[in-house]
Amino acid sequence: MISLLDLRARIESGTLSPDAAIRGARAAITKRDGSLGAILRTAPEGPVPAEGPLAGIAVGIKDIIDTADMATEHGSPIHAGWRPRADAAVVARLRALGAVPLAKTATTAFAGLDPCGTANPHDPARTPGGSSSGSAAAIAAGLLPLALGTQTGGSVIRPAAFCGIAAIKPSFRLIPTVGVKTFSWALDTVGLFARGVPDLARALALIVERREIETEAPSAPRIALCRQDFAGEADAEALAALARAGRAAERAGARVFDLALPDPFARAWAAHPTVQDFEARQALAWEYATHRAALPPVLGAQLDRAQALTAAQYDSARRDAHRARRQLKDMFADFDAILTVSAVGRAPDRATTGDARFNRLWTLMGVPCVTVPVPGDGLPLGVQVIARFGDDGRALALAGMIEAALRMRD
C-alpha cells in the first residue's frame, strides 16, 4: 500500500516530484487493476500541480461524486456517460490543495446494496464490501494513497474493514455532500480511505481546514467497548479481534470497560432503514419513475417497499434518532470513545456486499467513526473507534493509538 505521508515526505524533501508521483499511480492502475475492477476511468493527462500540501497525491473518487473532467455514472446504466458541469465541493477542495482527482472508483448502483464488479484484493472470490467498493479496493491494492467514499448505512467503514485498510466516516456534513448523488440526505456522509490513520488525519485536516484534527493526542483515554447486542451477534472472529483491540488500547494506556447501550439506541438502530428509505424514495424518484426496469434487483425491491412508507413513520423514526443522539452526547461525558466491530466478520463472497448492521446506528448518530485493521491470519478484520459529534480529531488520535498498539505482540 502507498502511504500519503511517505509520498509527501519524499516530495517535500525533493526526492520525488508531484508529477512522478501521479505517473506512478497511473502506472499502478494500468498494471494491477485489470482483474480487480476498482477503477472505472482515469482523468485525462494534463499538468500536475507542483505546489500545495497535497501536491503529488492521486485521489480515487467514488463514482457517485461529481467530477468535471470525467463521467459520473452513479454505478448505473441510467446515467451512462453523464458528465457533470462542475466538480463536487470536496473534489474542488482537493484540487485547491494540489491533489489530483485521478480516477473514478467503482460504486454499487446509487451506493445501494447490489454488488458491482470489484473484487477484494485479498481474495478475488470475496466482496471488497460496498458501496464504496472501488475506493477501498484501490487503497488495499496499492493503486492510490487516498480515496473518497460515502456512507449511508456502512459503506465506508465496512469495505475498509473487508479490505484491511483504514478509513474515516467523519462527523455528519464535516465534508460537504454538494455534488454527491443523494440516497438519504439525513445520512449520506463523505469519508476517506487510506493506508493508515496518520494519512487519514492529514488528509481530513487539510480538506476541512481544521488543523487541530491532525494534532490532537489525548492521554490516558477512557474507551467503552461495545458489542451492539441489539444488532445481533458478530462472528466469533470479529469479537476476538475486538477483544484484541481492547487489550491493545490498554497496553497503550487506555482504561477500557464494557458498555451496554440502553434501549433508545436499539430503537434508533431499528429506525435507520425508515429514515433512509423514505428519503431514498424521494431522492431517486426520477430514476424510479422513468427507469424502474434498469434498477438492480435489491435496490429496485427496496424502493418498491419504500413507496408504502408514510410521513408519520418517517417522523417517528426521526424522533427516535433525535432522542438517541441527545443521549449519546451526554454519555460521552463518561468516556472518550466507543470501540466496536467494523463489520459482522470477514468479507463474504461476492453475492452480497456484506451487512451494515454494526455501522447503521453510528451513521444515524452522525458521529465520527474510524476503522483500523486488526492484524492476523486470513482475510482482514477491522474495529471502529467512535467519538462524539465534532470530535473527529479525537476519534483519529485514539484509532491511531490502537492501530500502532495492534502492531506489537499481544
Q: Does 173 bind its own copies (CB under 8 A)?
A: yes
Cβ distance to its own copies smaller for residue 357 or 394: 394
Tell me the per-residue interface mask from 364 to 403 with its own copies, x by CB under 8 A, - otherwise. Answer: --------------------------x-------------
Burial of 375 (0-12, 13-18, 19+ CB in 10 A): middle
Write the single-letter amino acid at 161: A
Q: Does 185 bind its own copies (CB under 8 A)?
A: yes
Tell me the per-residue interface mask from 59 to 88 with its own copies, x by CB under 8 A, - otherwise. Answer: ---------x---------xx--x--xxxx
Ranges within 93-112 binding its own copies (CB under 8 A): 93, 95-96
Task: List strands edge to edge, sheet with 146-151.
Answer: 39-42, 100-105, 58-62, 146-151, 189-194, 166-169, 369-373, 382-386, 337-341, 222-226, 255-259
Catalytic residue among 76, 132, 155, 171: 155
**Separation CA 115–CA 37 (nearest Å):** 12
Is 31 noted as a catalytic residue in this protein? no
Is 62 noted as a catalytic residue in this protein? yes
What CA dihedral angle connects 187, 151, 173 and 215, to 10 degrees? 140
Q: Does 209 bind its own copies (CB under 8 A)?
A: yes
Cβ distance to its own copies smaller for residue 16 or 208: 208
Ranges within 217-276 binding its own copies (CB under 8 A): none
Place of cell 490502537: 402
Q: Does 215 bind its own copies (CB under 8 A)?
A: no
Other C-beta atoms lying within 10 Å of the C-beta of residue 263: 10
From the list 53-61, 173-181, 219-227, 298-306, the region that binds its own copies by CB under 8 A is 173-181
Report the length, in residues, of the chain.
410
# residues near its own copies by CB under 8 A = 36
Q: Does 310 bind its own copies (CB under 8 A)?
A: yes
Is 104 noted as a catalytic residue in this protein? no
**Separation CA 52–CA 334 (nearest Å):** 40
**Torsion sign (Cα): 200, 206, 208, 210:** positive
Q: Does 287 bind its own copies (CB under 8 A)?
A: yes
- Give the active site residues: 62, 131, 155
Q: Which residues bind its own copies (CB under 8 A)?
A: 68, 78-79, 82, 85-89, 91-93, 95-96, 173, 176-179, 182, 185, 208-210, 279, 282-283, 285-287, 289-290, 310-311, 315, 390
